[in-house]
Amino acid sequence: MAQAKTLTQAELDQVLRYVSAKKFPERNRAIILMSFWSGLRVGEISALKMGDVVNEDGTIRAEIRLSAEQTKGGQPRTVFLPSKLTVELANYLKTKYAKNPDLPFFYTHRRVGFTANGLCVWFFAMYRGAGIAGASSHSGRRNFITTLANKGISVRVLASLAGHKSIAVTQKYIDANDDMKRNAVELI
């Protein structure tokens, strides 16, 4: 099975323009950017509850503490949110009426939480609709890891952020793109 495509910034912008023109634009944008800017797996995104993301005062948390039940590896972990993502999540939160901490953070058009499989299908449809071939629900996660690797973040830190027990697994996520190669040869 081929790995999920990593997107260029232009392709990500294309997807964001597409999802912004659909129903629930704030939600759509927040889901896409949650994948790209936090590196969460689709199952982890679908498992998020309001209380995981929102503080009691209604602000967005800077860190999300995933329980063992919410992660693939069955190990709890902390996900650190960049400030630009907290802004996007706050914009989305303004569109939600019910703020009970036990409710799903992201919901479908039927006002129920996404299943992991349902969110995979949603990502596929959004990428296809935006005209991006080869992208999947894992593309944002691969972009997250590749982007940070390209900026010099150590593979050990990347593995911790991704929730990988082995750096060998993390290394498989890093896409050696032309920009990385250009930057590498300039170090000579």
CB atoms within 10 A of CB 125: 11
What is the Cα gyration radius of the chain? 16
Question: What pLDDT does 187 receive?
Answer: 82
Question: What pLDDT does 1 receive?
Answer: 56
Residue 17, phi-psi category: left (phi > 0), alpha (psi -120 to 50), beta (remainder): alpha
Residue ranges making up the domain that contains 84: 1-188
CATH number of the domain bearing residue 105: 1.10.443.10
Strands of the chain (E only): list them: 63-66, 77-80
Per-residue pLDDT of the chain (188 residues; tens, 9 = 90+): 578 888 999 999 999 999 999 999 999 999 999 999 999 999 999 999 999 999 999 999 999 999 889 988 888 899 999 999 999 999 999 998 877 899 999 998 887 899 999 999 999 999 999 999 999 999 998 999 888 888 888 888 888 888 778 777 777 777 777 777 787 788 87
Total domains in the chain come to: 1
How far apart are the C-alpha atoms of 58 and 53, rounded to whole Å? 9
DSSP-derived secondary structure letter, 166? -
Question: What pLDDT does 146 receive?
Answer: 85
